[in-house]
Structure 1
């Protein structure tokens, strides 16, 4: 591995999905940190409108139902940004402006919020805890983000009761458990945000679903180091839809092939077993029904980012990095514990140690990649080149978007 350098990039960005009550992604909050702040900061509106639109496109575009869509972006604003009237004329149907919880509520602020609301922007109150001083803002806001982290179920219910007189959409943020998600859903919350999707939903007495069992069997077979080209071909061609999707993605521009491949065996011979196993795993994850599309999307981004970071830091053999990234969260697709899953999958000890204990160079890159994607930049190793991670993240967003389009088309 190349010698590490301490390089601080001026701006770091990541995104966090916002779901509706069907767990469909309907927006992204853009997480942002500038070089002069160790904590998350507000979005930088410097630069031309065209530049800002390109940035928003890069961080909020996804393929859904065979169409490229730009999701609405939730952006944090400071008091100064609000009252100085310096916001560019962004498309109002694509932007939700978040007012931070510690902002001073005065006449200037209220006048500015009213002006933005009249221009057509949606207003959200962030990390909201009810207080009478916020009543003027509650009368103008359309979305209230209730921070449920650290709250009991009863405390969340009490917040909802106080907000009933206002015509607002409730968004529960920082949800970490499926129990809290269900409680918020029952209370009438319409939007949801948090890490609960990345954890398996463990229900006592429940059985593994057929789609999950199929995914597990495919993952087991794909990671078998003794699998031959013919074994891999037999596994894939058992499912015509699986075969069709695999050939579509193999023939996509992502692989830069000179001519079209029309058989699984030919694809294996040209790309190699390692590369084919990777693509087959991707399709198996995306074909797993019953889980929100955002979960495999995040795992694709994580896996590809691990591989790109490894390449960027000078590692020659990066074959296991994408697998490590994807397998570190695939247990949430199967609703089983991570250790239990890894005991059933014939992964190398290097990959298992990286996932379970964060050991070795692979473990360090996986650790940093996960925290970068969550916007927890302060949790990354202190000596990483953040430019490499930022470039890899942005490239991985685009790659995952294109790959999912190839499979879903």
Structure 2
């Protein structure tokens, strides 16, 4: 059985990722027949037992997973590691004494319980004594009533997640109210109130991005830039020497890397290195999203058997978060980097295959299954293949993140 999975980050007050909510579907119709999608999600989870592995999807973060009544009653969540998951009780479940007893038992085994899309109904009162987290959709509950809810839940030591946070203004508003965590797309929508100054380090990174996007990599120029900062050489060689990427050969120089890995792969690593440094001081999730998008767009673009620079799809995905990282408009940023016109057009929203690939990546981030199906039909590519590419991209991004960690 093939698992279709999307993940959506949940941030803490410092805009660091606390956890990911995992969303599952199955098959071309995205659900089991004749049962609700959220129940199908639970069945898929338990039948596949997360064939990808939770760690491959969420790294070292917790996984929030929706469960329907039947899987809670049969204690299916207990097949998972209690230290790695949060059990979300969906708002549509039928609540009775049997369900309450089952959830209390699951909590007693060490599994955190979260109430999803809390709707203020009395049926949830019985869950409060053993609930760890409550998620509130800020678009569904009047904002003036929320402070009293915060006070009530805080008195029970319950943490709160604000869902559907779309802007930094909303993030700050609900942070001030006392919410602990935030779920939404505010990070991907930069609040351009000022421009981050392009200091010497940032300018060096932009130079590296420029070189990595050229058709022919000039290693003399690369060496000239990197030799200004020995730590860059160390980072690059450490990255390439990581056993997750290179199991047999020790890379000793940039020239050696070119001979062993090939020019395209070396250009990818230079681009990754540059972007990671440009993201300095920003939430790490921006870089993670960029990594997933880069690998995913590369795989999809290659599947079209395009004859252009094979780095095109990769760069499109990788640079798609640059505006959020640099707090500048994307059209201003791409004008400073002589990347190909079709990559610039895609990043600036012009129609085309690359723009569609980038939009598809965003569909996966939002679990927009109908959008994925539409793309599949437009380009005559199987949905199973697209989901496989996205799974591979998430795993690759996780490995890159692990390999890029440098001891302080």
Deviates more, 1:71-80 or 1:40-49: 40-49
Specify which of 3, 10, 34 is matched with residue 26 of structure 2. Answer: 34
Judged with a 3 Å threshold, the aligned counterparts in structure 2 of structure 1 residues 314 and 156 are, in CA distance, closer, same or farther, namely farther
Q: Report the 3-state secondary structure (helix = DSSP H, G, I; strand = E; otherwise coil) of the residue aligned with 2:130.
A: coil
State the partner residue of 2:368. 376
Matches within 5 A, 1:6-405: 11-35=3-27, 36-37=29-30, 41-42=38-39, 43-45=41-43, 52=49, 54-62=51-59, 69=60, 71-149=61-139, 154=144, 156-157=146-147, 159-204=149-194, 207-208=196-197, 210=199, 215-220=205-210, 222-223=212-213, 228-252=218-242, 259-268=249-258, 271=261, 273-287=263-277, 288-317=279-308, 318-357=310-349, 359-380=351-372, 381-383=375-377, 384-405=381-402
Q: Is the 8 A contact 2:16 2:284 kept in 1?
A: yes
Q: Is the 8 A contact 2:20 2:64 kept in 1?
A: yes
- The alignment covers a number of residue pairs equal to 392
Cα displacement (A) at 1:190: 1.6
Q: Is the 8 A contact 2:257 2:266 kept in 1?
A: yes
Q: TM-score, normalised by structure 1?
A: 0.84
Deviates more, 1:212-221 or 1:173-182: 212-221
Q: Is the 8 A contact 1:138 1:166 kept in 2?
A: yes
Judged with a 3 Å threshold, the aligned counterparts in structure 2 of structure 1 residues 90 and 269 are, in CA distance, closer, same or farther, namely closer
Tell me the distance in 2 between the aligned counterparts of 1:382 and 1:40.
21
Tell me the distance in 2 between the aligned counterparts of 1:108 and 1:254.
47
Q: Map Cα deviations across residues 169-195 of structure 1 (whole Å, 9 max, x no partner).
A: 111222111121122222222222221
Q: Is the 8 A contact 2:25 2:44 kept in 1?
A: no
Judged with a 3 Å threshold, the aligned counterparts in structure 2 of structure 1 residues 349 and 112 are, in CA distance, closer, same or farther, namely same
Q: Map Cα deviations across residues 223-252 of structure 1 (whole Å, 9 max, x no partner).
A: 456873211221222221111111222334
- Give structure 2 stretches of 5+ with no counterpart: none
Q: Is the 8 A contact 2:100 2:126 kept in 1?
A: yes
Q: Is the 8 A contact 1:216 1:334 kept in 2?
A: no
Judged with a 3 Å threshold, the aligned counterparts in structure 2 of structure 1 residues 213 and 193 are, in CA distance, closer, same or farther, namely farther
Q: More relative contact order in 1 or in 2 (CA 8 Å, sep 6+)?
A: 1
Tell me the distance in 2 between the aligned counterparts of 1:220 and 1:267.
19
Q: Map Cα deviations across residues 278-321 of structure 1 (whole Å, 9 max, x no partner).
A: 21110122233211222111211110111122333444543201
Q: Report the 3-state secondary structure (helix = DSSP H, G, I; strand = E; otherwise coil) of the residue aligned with 1:23.
A: coil
Tell me the distance in 2 between the aligned counterparts of 1:152 and 1:197.
24
Tell me the distance in 2 between the aligned counterparts of 1:358 and 1:350.
9
Cα displacement (A) at 1:80: 2.2
Alignment root-mean-square deviation, CA = 3.0
Tell me the distance in 1 between the aligned counterparts of 2:230 and 2:16.
27
Q: TM-score, normalised by structure 2?
A: 0.84
